[in-house]
Structure 1
Amino acid sequence: MSTATTVSSPPTTRKYWATAALLYLSYFVLGFSLFAQAQFKPALAGQWSTDVAGVAAAIAWMMVGRLIAYPIAGPIADRVSRRLGAIIGASLLAASFVGIVFVSNPMLGTVMCVVAGLGNGFLDPAVYPALSEVFPKHSHIANLFLKFSILVAQFLLPLIISATGGADLEGGFRTVYLGFAAIIAAVIVGLLFAPFPPNESKQDAASAAPRAAITVSAPMIMLIVLGATTITTFTLWGNTNQELGKAYGMENPALTQSWYSAGAMVAILISTALLTRIRATQIIIFYPLVSAITLIAVYFVHTPWIVPAAGFIIGWTAAGGVLQLVTSTANSLFPHARGLMTSLVMIASAIGGFAFQSLAAPWVVAAPGNVLLLNAGVTLVGVALAVFVDRAEKSRLEVARAA
């Protein structure tokens, strides 16, 4: 089996390049969905006949949509098809884009945010495994570039807003949303006809072997918990860095976000090079360790320059694809349940992100230093778990080489 895979991989991969391009394009559009509502709050407040706080409350329901979708989407991606899961997710995104700009009250706006979250929840368990199967020898790098697709959308969105007339109701927000709806509609059409690689989870479902592969184990639990710790590092930082900048005397705290985004984009390129030399799990250990040290340094060093510098480092070592590498590792260790494992990691990330943000909320303005310590503690727990996951991944690779 190993020999056959080696011989056939190059032409098979080329055959699916168009499919991969469509999947990456779907995540570029997903990146727009993740950030657009927050950027267009003034426009949406006018469209939905509410205020900015009402829009912010609706945005939070995107996480609920993800949590609803993941338990359903994982089995669909594993047992039915990756194609169907990706098409459902893309269709839900398209519906949310159209709905968001035409509904006229906050309740329906909230429903559309839930629909957007559902789209995210269906895409993840289909796209991550599909790319692992398109690029079996470079699955970690393939999944890492999903984050890059999201970051490109995040980078371009402010430029698009400026070019189309601003983020208020008189601006071109409807044109932007409908334009992205058209892009994702084209992706849906492409996915209907694009070839997908054999679904390994579905192929093995008929045998008894996969039963052992999805048995609850220590590495499985640790990977799921890592989904919560890795997302917490950058979400808590994102919610606190502006307040830290003000407290430390920065003239323009908003600059921290620019440095953060730059660090995240650099991380993708550096990590891609590193993955040709070291295990993904080694990055999952080292990057969060650097994040934790950085957070502790910011707690003790109260100078303006440290906040943007830390933003760049946190962007690099926390937001630059660590969650994607955790998901990719879960797919590698449990190849017969890739959709399920993606769902479980992402469920943990959604719950963890929400729980720790809620816990830290009273401190964000009153005591941002406390948020730094909480964040560093959660991140260090992730480092400890990653050490054990690295051992399991090392053993898997040794067995694969021996075969």
Structure 2
Amino acid sequence: MKKMKKNYVPTSISLYMNYLIIGMAILILPQNMDTLANQWHTNIASVSVVIAAVGIGRLVVMLVSGMLSDKLGRKPFAVMGALTYILFFVGILMSRSLLVATIFGVLVGIANSFIDAGTYPALMEMYPQHKGAANVTIKAFVSAGQFILPLIISLIVANGLWYGWSFMLCSVILVLNVIFLLVFSRFPARQVAQPTTTKATPAAPVKGNVWIDGTLFTIFSFLAQGIFLRVSTWITKYGESIVKMGDVSSRALVSYYSVGSITCVLLTIYLSHKGVQDIQFLFVYMLLSFISLLIMYLFPIAWVCSIMAFVVGFSAAGGVMQIGLTIMASFFPNGKGTVTGVSQTAASISGFVVPLLGAMLAANIANVILLDVGLAFIGFVVASVIVYRYYKLFGRTPKGTKTVTTPTLSKETN
């Protein structure tokens, strides 16, 4: 097992690099909004159309790309996603109208879907004993990209340089990454789960019920995405309007939220390697999300909200969705790509529906947080049922005994 992990380290780092650029891509349009509005001969409000188009692209192809990943392998989708991102960065620079830019916005959503379809299943197959930690690390790289890009743009602005250098930097990194993926990377062959055991009695394959478990995980993905979207979007306004915090203090809530997210990623990786199960993370994190949001709503006090912003970031934005996806894959081991497609499609739908619900309640920002409390409560209930289903299907592995599912591999994919 250790040898296998060592062999896949360069490939996994390359896959994570894609997500570093995705983190930068998430902010690159909003950070250049004024310049792009002038370039496209439109106003700032219209630039948000291009940003929204990303969700359309994800929704259109996510499920299909996940299913095809199970049939064609992981590597083609990781490569196609990176290539499509390059088209996005170059295309945005060349766009001279809102329509053309919107097309490239849809394209980057498709690119994101391709990378998800290739990466999540590949990481679970590369590191079968630490699937949750491997997928949660994706969140760390996305956050790192979101941290780095504003610094790069600040440097560009301070030196009066062309705004497009940030786009070109992302493109160059992806070009190098594509070359590595094509020439040097090694991916596991597609897997068919055939359990063998170590220090345990052989057991028959366990699969979840498509209708019961599939529905539960789809709802969970929808809620997990909605919870952290609401908080990240409205927490500054909540601090300003309801808690009556100053401008700097209310904006700092986002920083506390981000620090909580990174802290959770690091702690999850550490505890996972210490033997804590993914299913335990799922239950605890969803409970913390509900409690912290409820406290934030009931006690709109500056110091309380500052602490709860950290806790919400820790529990709701620290990789709980990736953990849910990993557990879902254990219920349906022969369809990791399809599982990724279903989960991310539900998240994409949430990205449309939940903002609309929030907008309807925006007259009173407190109601927006109350909506998040409700989502978190339902999410906790769904997570509790998932935990019950998990232990019903898989049981509780005795301490010191580990059951290993060894997939049948035809050959490695180079």
Q: Which residue of 2 aligns with 1:401?
A: 403
TM-fit CA distance, 1:371: 1.1
For 2:178 and 2:130, how far apart are their aligned partners in 1?
Answer: 25
TM-score normalised per structure 2: 0.88
8 Å contact 2:206–2:331 — kept in the other structure? Answer: no
**8 Å contact from structure 2 (residues 37, 43) kept in 1:** yes
Amino acid at match of 2:74: R
Q: Corresponding residue for 1:236?
A: 230
How far does residue 82 in structure 1 lie from its aligned partner after superposition? Answer: 0.3
Question: What one-letter code is carried by the residue in structure 2 that aligns with 1:311?
Answer: A
Deviations 1:231-269 (A, max 9, x none): 111101122112111122211221111111111111111
Q: Which amino acid is the alignment partner of residue 231 of structure 1?
A: Q
Which amino acid in the other structure matches residue 221 of structure 1? T
The one-letter code of the counterpart of 1:380 is F
Structure 2 counterpart of 1:249, from 239, 244, 247: 244
Partner letter of residue 54 of structure 1? Answer: S
Question: Deviation string for 1:139-177 (max 9, x for gaps)?
Answer: 11011100001010111111111111169xx65420110
CA distance in structure 1 between the partners assigned to 2:323 and 2:30 by the alignment: 26
Aligned partner of 1:208 in structure 2 is none
State whether structure 2 residue 381 is matched by structure 1 residue 380.
no
Amino acid at match of 2:177: V
SS at match of 1:328: helix
- Of 129, 142, 145, the residue aligned with 1:150 is 142
Q: How does 1:336-347 map to 2 (within 5 A)?
A: 336-347=334-345
Aligned length: 386
1:161 equivalent in structure 2 = 153
> Which residue identity lines up with residue 187 of structure 2 in the other structure?
F
Q: Distance in 1 between matches of 2:330 and 2:193?
A: 16
- Sequence identity (%): 27
Select between 40-49 and 63-72 the one with higher mean Cα deviation. Answer: 40-49
Deviates more, 1:194-203 or 1:247-256: 194-203
Post-superposition CA distance 1:195-227 (Å, at most 9, x none): 111211699xxxxxxx99586231221111110
Q: Could you say what secondary structure the match of 2:61 adopts? A: helix
Which residue matches 1:4?
Answer: none
Would the aligned equivalents of 1:76 and 1:82 in 2 still touch at CA under 8 Å?
A: no
**Partner of residue 54, structure 1:** 46
CA–CA separation in structure 1 for the residues paired with 2:158 and 2:325: 36
Residue matched to 2:256: 259
Distance 1:104 1:227, change over 3 A: same
Counterpart among 366, 370, 373 of residue 367 in structure 2: 370
Seen in structure 2, the aligned counterparts of structure 1 residues 171 and 18 have a Cα distance that, compared at 3 Å, is same
1:292 aligns with 2:290: yes
Shift of 1:21: 1.0
> Does structure 1 conserve the Cα–Cα contact (< 8 Å) formed by 2:193 and 2:333?
no
Work out the CA distance in 1 between the residues paired with 2:228 and 2:297.
16
Q: Confirm or deny: 8 A CA contact 1:250 1:305 kept in the other structure.
A: no
Whole-angstrom CA distance in 2 between matches of 1:186 and 1:61:
27
Alpha-carbon distance in structure 2 between the residues aligned to 1:85 and 1:121:
9
CA contact (8 A) 1:77 1:85 kept: yes
Select 1:196's aligned residue among 187, 198, 203. Answer: 187
Among 299, 318, 329, the residue aligned to 1:320: 318
TM-aligned CA distance change 1:354 to 1:180, over 3 Å: same
More helix by share: 1
Give me the whole-angstrom Cα distance separating, in 1, the residues matched to 2:324 and 2:208.
17
Q: Tell me: CA distance 1:171–1:53, structure 2 relative to 1, closer, same or farther (3 Å).
A: farther
Deviations, residues 338-395 of structure 1 (Å, cap 9, x unaligned) = 000011001001112321111111323x211111111111111111111122233334
**Given the superposition, is the C-alpha separation of residues 384 and 263 from structure 1 closer, same or farther in structure 2, using an over 3 Å criterion?**
same
Q: How is 1:4-403 mapped onto 2 (pairs within 5 angstroms)?
A: 9-165=1-157, 171-193=161-183, 194-200=185-191, 213=207, 216-247=210-241, 248-251=243-246, 252=248, 253-275=250-272, 276-364=274-362, 366-394=363-391, 395-396=393-394, 398=396, 401=403
Q: Which moved further from structure 2: 21-30 or 298-307?
A: 298-307
What is the CA deviation profile of residues 44-103 of structure 1, one whole-angstrom value per residue up to 9, with x for unaligned ones?
212222111111121011000001121221122100010011111111111101111110
Structure 2 residue matching 1:298: 3-state secondary structure: helix
Over the aligned positions, Cα root-mean-square deviation in angstroms equals: 2.3
Cα distance between partner residues in 1 of 2:232 and 2:404: 44
Do 1:213 and 1:336's aligned partners in 2 also have CA atoms closer than 8 Å? Answer: no
Question: Residues 241 and 307 of structure 1 are in contact (CA less than 8 Å); yes or no, is this contact kept in structure 2?
Answer: no
What TM-score, normalized by structure 1, do the two folds share? 0.90
